[in-house]
Structure 1
Amino acid sequence: MKRTGPASLIVAAVLGGGAGYLFDQLRTSAGRPTFTPQLSLPVLLLVLGAIVILLAVPIYRASHGHTSTPLNPFHAVRIAMLAKASSLVGAAFGGVAVGLILFLLTRPAEPSVGSLSALIGTAVSAVLLLVAGLVAEHLCTIRKDDDDKHTGAGAPGADDSRPDDAGGHYASH
């Protein structure tokens, strides 16, 4: 499993931005008010980011020998996948919030401070979730073992069908 790349995060943010802009465009064309998230959305995104990091710290400690608890590779992969999903969700929600902000700023009427601040808070919280997901994903990677150095092409037990990813391995490898 490879780390989350910038291309997938950019695609998620751009798709989210387009969806947010289009959503508000459709709402206002139907005569409805623009969408304003409640205060609970940014708080929920921040709490999710904190939980993801808290779940990844024990994986880091176990994989780097800072604890006597053995590393459960299945648990580590689950946390790594949660971290990857969190970074993608953060990028998508950040894109949606930016799309909604762009829609508000392109309107002839000046947006209310309350709706604009709620959207900015959502965008900032989404970026913090993205960062938390990337940090947690980094915490779930392990160092290459001495055995991994000797499994090059032609070495006994080498798997030539799998390319080496220089970005690190997840704890399951």
Structure 2
Amino acid sequence: MSANPDGRRTDPSLRPTSISVLVVAGLAAAAVGWLVLSFTYTRLPQLPWTPALVLAVLAVAEAMLAQNTSARIQRKPGALPVQPLAVARYVALAKASSLVGAIFAGFSAGLLGWLLLEPTRAAREDVPATTGGLVAGLALIGAALWLERACRVPEQPDRQDDDTDRPSGRL
């Protein structure tokens, strides 16, 4: 625990990923993508599919992990219990992946915007890979946010204690 300046103790907490942070990161990356492409496009080789495929595979893996983790945390029949440290690692992965997905999707959106306005054949040939990158980035954001949500501890119903539940001699 840590203390505030006024001396009160606070518990450490991990907050859910802020959508506004993802939007700002995506917009900044879109601006950078647009600027980079506008100054260097004639010197670049054809844009590759590899980054989009890597992000798509990561999105599928995180979606599967989210589904599995959700069942395990909710203790559905047949699901093994999950280790708390593993859940903490999944949350860290989800938070990082959502930010990476936002940056990549924003960068791809900036590239795509520039490519759609460029009347050359080379630009038209780069549109599919860039669109794939945008879709893969958005899929990664969705899967990462799902994984983060799946790691939340379900709320327990409030239990009202009454004297009949307590063993005698204990308070």
User: Under a length normalisation based on structure 1, what TM-score does the superposition of the two structures give?
Assistant: 0.74
Rounded Cα–Cα distance in structure 2 between residues aligned with 1:110 and 1:26: 18
Q: Which residue of 2 aligns with 1:53?
A: 63
Do 1:36 and 1:119's aligned partners in 2 also have CA atoms closer than 8 Å? no
Q: Does 1:10 align with 2:23?
A: yes
Residue identity opposite 2:38 in structure 1: Q
Q: Which residue of 2 aligns with 1:92?
A: 103
Do 2:115 and 2:126's aligned partners in 1 also have CA atoms closer than 8 Å? no
Q: Does 1:114 align with 2:125?
A: yes
Cα offset for 1:143?
1.3
Q: Does 1:142 align with 2:153?
A: yes
Q: Which runs of 5+ in 1 are unaligned?
A: 151-173
Q: Which runs of 5+ in 2 are unaligned?
A: 1-13, 161-171
Larger Rg: 2
Q: Does 1:24 align with 2:37?
A: yes
Residue identity opposite 1:122 in structure 2: G
Q: Which residue of 1 aligns with 2:114?
A: 103
Rounded Cα–Cα distance in structure 1 between residues aligned with 2:73 and 2:105: 32
Distance 1:102-1:111 versus aligned 2 partners, 3 A rule: farther
Cα offset for 1:25?
2.3
Residue identity opposite 1:40 in structure 2: T
Deviations 1:3-24 (A, max 9, x none): 1121011011011101111211
SS, match of residue 142 in structure 1 = coil
Do 1:104 and 1:111's aligned partners in 2 also have CA atoms closer than 8 Å? no
Q: Does 1:42 align with 2:55?
A: no
Residue 140 (structure 2) aligned to one of 114, 129, 140 = 129
Q: Which residue of 2 aligns with 1:81?
A: 92
Do 1:36 and 1:118's aligned partners in 2 also have CA atoms closer than 8 Å? no
Please tell me the root mean square deviation across aligned C-alpha atoms, in Å: 2.3
Deviations 1:114-159 (A, max 9, x none): 2111111111111111111111111111212357x89xxxxxxxxx
SS, match of residue 71 in structure 1 = coil
Distance 1:37-1:112 versus aligned 2 partners, 3 A rule: closer
SS, match of residue 135 in structure 1 = helix
Residue identity opposite 2:50 in structure 1: S
The number of equivalent residue pairs is 146
